[in-house]
Structure 1
Amino acid sequence: MTEVSSQDPRFQDATPAGADAAAGGFTQQQIEALFVNAAREGDAELLSSFLDAGMDPNLRAEKGYTPLILASYNGYVDAVALLLARGAQPDLQDEKGATALAGVAFKGNLAIARLLLDAGAGVDVPNSVGRTPLMFAVMFGRDDMAKLLLKAGASPTRRDGENLNALDLAHRQGNTVLTALMKEDTRAAS
């Protein structure tokens, strides 16, 4: 085994989170960075090895990102499914208050949004300025995502820090289809 491969957790048993990480040639901080990077890159096999070795699926990395937030945002369905199955909490927020669902609403990844919603993700969890996943979907023209979130119970009338709601945003953008859908949704909820 080369010096490089002996330092790569793919070529050796991962060191358990509570064990002396330095004994394996890595500090705990380095192991955590490798784990987070596996999530960012969607390497489900490596993530599984880290989780088997005792890594916390809800570990906080730079800017408060969790493995689930990173895997979700980057579009890795298998990694997201694995993390959720292994105990990742879908509503943890990063330093700006964004959840995994907010990231996928922005990106428009319906498959991951469904996984998160099925795992109990809050459909209306606002970020630090009060924006919800539905608002992000509307702002970035993700109509199918907005429809999915509305069907899951997202509120089109919840207001953000600028006193705007998803209905206002759709109207401002001239999105008549979403505007009509959200108006219908608010009437049905009354």
Structure 2
Amino acid sequence: MSDSTALFQAIQAADVATVTDLIEARPDLLTAQSPSGLSPLLFAAYDRQPQMAALLIELGAPVSPFEAAACGSEHHLRPALDADPALLHAFSPDGFTLLGLCAFFGYLELARNLLERGAAVDVPSRPPMSVTPLGSAAAGNHTALCALLLDAGADPNARQQGGFTPLLSAAQNGNLELLDLLTARAADPAAQTDDGRSALDLAREGSHSLLIDRLTAR
């Protein structure tokens, strides 16, 4: 097994000792790439390993603006935006805006700061996902962040890959609070995925009884 493979496996396993030993022996591993092209820091973020991400930063991992957004690090993101405000409209290597990454990972205050700086609320990620920040926040069950984006003018009916809308994601996740929020903001209750599944279908697939009751009562 290569050291690079061992590092990504240790990150996934949240093995602090192994990650530390590998990086201390080979600091160049901090810029290694996973099979899908992610840096160790982004790999930890996408694997929902915030402690591992913090450890990698502590061990000296370089932090790009997009990695800062994915890790919720205002400390690293603020000076980058101060130096280059155009980053608000740029895309990460995997096709997301800074706001899209904050929405996906659920960083409410960082997303608020980006909006205050002028980030566009409805720019979708690059194909094939083509998901808006609201769609990402809904998929991640980040209800308060969805409310923030809706207040900023986000389209409640924006579609993404597969035809999912934020309301359909809420139904799939069993998030009644978000379903009600989106409905109150003019989300289409009759929306369907590309394969013809409705919010009720998705709620039934997940056995989300409260949503089933709410949707059948309409």
TM-score, L = length of structure 1: 0.72
Aligned to 1:74: 105
Q: Please give the residue correspondences for 1:6-17 in structure 2 after superposition, counting only pairs within 5 Å.
A: none
Q: Tell me the secondary structure at the aligned position of residue 161 of structure 2.
A: coil
Q: Tell me the secondary structure at the aligned position of residue 37 of structure 1.
A: helix
Match of 1:34 among 64, 68, 74: 64
Distance in 2 (CA, whole Å) between partners of 1:179 and 1:155 is: 16
- The letter for the 2-side match of 1:78 is E
Match of 1:129 among 162, 173, 176: 162
Match of 1:92 among 115, 120, 123: 123
1:112 aligns with 2:145: yes
Instruction: Evaluate the alpha carbon distance shift between residue 177 and residue 141 of structure 1 in structure 2; reply closer, same or farther with a 3 A threshold.
Output: closer
1:47 aligns with 2:80: no
Q: Please give the residue correspondences for 1:145-156 in structure 2 after superposition, counting only pairs within 5 Å.
A: 145-156=178-189
Q: Sequence identity, in percent?
A: 30
Q: Greater relative contact order: 1 or 2 (C-alpha under 8 angstroms, separation 6 or more)? A: 1
> Which runs of 5 or more residues in structure 1 are unaligned?
1-32, 186-190
Q: CA RMSD in A?
A: 1.9
Of residues 102-111 and 64-73 in structure 1, the stretch that sits farther from structure 2 once superposed is 102-111
TM-score, L = length of structure 2: 0.64
Aligned to 2:92: 61
Displacement of 1:171: 4.0
Aligned to 1:181: 214
Please tell me whether the aligned partners of residues 158 and 165 of structure 2 are also in contact (alpha carbons under 8 angstroms): yes
1:83 aligns with 2:114: yes
Displacement of 1:180: 4.2
